[in-house]
Amino acid sequence: MRRVLLHLGLHKTGTTAAQSFLFENRSLIWPQHALVLPYRTRKTGLSEAATRYSVYGTPGALSDFRDQMRHFLNSLEFGQKRGLVLSEENFSGLRPSRNVAVGYEAAPELASCLVGLIRDRFADEEVHITLYYSLRQRGSWLRSLWAHDLQRSRLIQDFETFRARLEPVPSPQIAAEAVRDRLPSVSVRTEWLEDLQGLRYGLGNTFAEFLDLPPEKAAELVGPTRSNPRLPEDVLQQMLEMNRSALDDAALIDQKAALVQRVQNDLIGTR
C-alpha cells in the first residue's frame, strides 16, 4: 500500500520547523517516500499556481495548477512501493494577511485537486492519503502574521488595527474543518502547535509518527534545526517605527535585517 502525507500548512503554524525536520532527516525518508519541500514547489512554480487560484478562484487558474501538479507528480520516481511526503503551506492558498477578502476559502478545492491527482498517479493501486494541518490558537496566530508582515513588508498598522482588519478571516481550525467537510473519505489530521512544541521532535513529531521507522532507524531521527523565533515586543515596535519612517526601501530592508541579526546574536549568546 502506498502511504501519502500531505502537510498543507497552515501559514505561521510552525511550518518552517516542520520542513526543517523533514530536510534534516531526508536520508531516512527517501528510501520509503519521495520527499517534496517548498524549495521544489516554489522553484517549479507550483506554489505560485496554487496561490494564484486562491486569489482569482477561476476554473482556468485551478486547471493550471492541476496540469502543473500532474506533470510534477509524473516526474517523481516512486518505484514499486515508495510513498510521498509533501509539505507546502501555499498549497492552501495565499497567506491570509495578503488575501483578507478570501482567507483560506480555496483550501478545500486545492486539497481535493491534490487528492484526485495522487489517486490518478497511483491508479489501480491501494493508496492511503492523509492530509495534515498544523494549527495555532487564533490570537497568537494573528500576532505571528503581524510580526511576519512587519518584517517582510512595509506594514504600518499596529497590531490592534491589523487584528481588526483580519477579523473576517476564519481561524486555522475552521479552515481545516472546511477541508474535512469537503473530503469526508480522506483522513484529515490536525495538531496544535502549542501541543507539539513540548514533544521530542517538536513540530516534526507528526512526521516521525507517520514514518513509523524501525527502532534502529527511528533512533537516528533528529529534531528541527530551523524555526522562526518569536521576536520580542520591543523589536516589533522598532520595526513598526522603521516602516512608518521616511527610510527608502533599500535602507529599510537593511536596517530591519540588522535588527533581526542583533536579536539572533543575543539569543545565541544567552544559551
> What single-letter DSSP state applies at residue 76?
S
Phi, psi of 164 (to 5 degrees): -65, -40
Q: How far apart are the C-alpha atoms of 183 and 132, rounded to whole Å?
A: 13
* Average pLDDT score, the chain: 95
> What single-letter DSSP state applies at residue 100?
T
Length of the chain equals 271
More confident residue, 78 or 269: 78
Q: What is the mean pLDDT of residues 7-33?
A: 97
Q: What is the mean pLDDT of residues 3-27?
A: 97
User: At residue 11, does pLDDT exceed 60?
Assistant: yes
Angle (nearest 5°) at CA 207 between 173 and 3: 100
Confidence category of residue 269, pLDDT binned at 50, 70, 90 = low
| Residue 224 CA: distances (Å) to CA of 207, 228, 251 | 11, 11, 32
**Selection from 190, 177, 188, 176 nearest residue 4 by Cα:** 188
Q: 2-227 sits in which CATH class?
A: alpha beta
Predicted confidence at residue 119, as pLDDT, reads 97
Q: What is the mean pLDDT of residues 201-219?
A: 96
| Cβ-proximal residues to 44 (8 Å cutoff; 6+ apart), any chain | 68, 72
Q: What is the mean pLDDT of residues 123-130?
A: 95
Q: What is the mean pLDDT of residues 103-116?
A: 98
Predicted confidence at residue 268, as pLDDT, reads 56
pLDDT tens-digit readout, 139-177? 999 999 999 999 999 999 999 999 999 999 999 999 999
* pTM of the predicted structure, to 2 decimals: 0.94
Predicted confidence at residue 86, as pLDDT, reads 98
| Residue 262 CA: distances (Å) to CA of 2, 47, 161, 211, 259 | 46, 32, 28, 38, 5
> What percentage of the chain carries pLDDT values higher than 70?
98
Predicted confidence at residue 171, as pLDDT, reads 95
- DSSP-based three-state secondary structure for 58: coil
Query: For the chain, which residues make up each domain, given as ranges?
Result: 2-227, 229-270
- DSSP-based three-state secondary structure for 85: strand
Q: How far apart are the C-alpha atoms of 83 and 219, rounded to whole Å?
A: 21
Q: How many CB atoms lie within 10 A of CB 50?
A: 29
DSSP 142-209: HHHHHHHHHHHS-----HHHHHHHTTTSPPHHHHHHHHHHH-TTSEEEEEEHHHHTTSTTGGGHHHHH
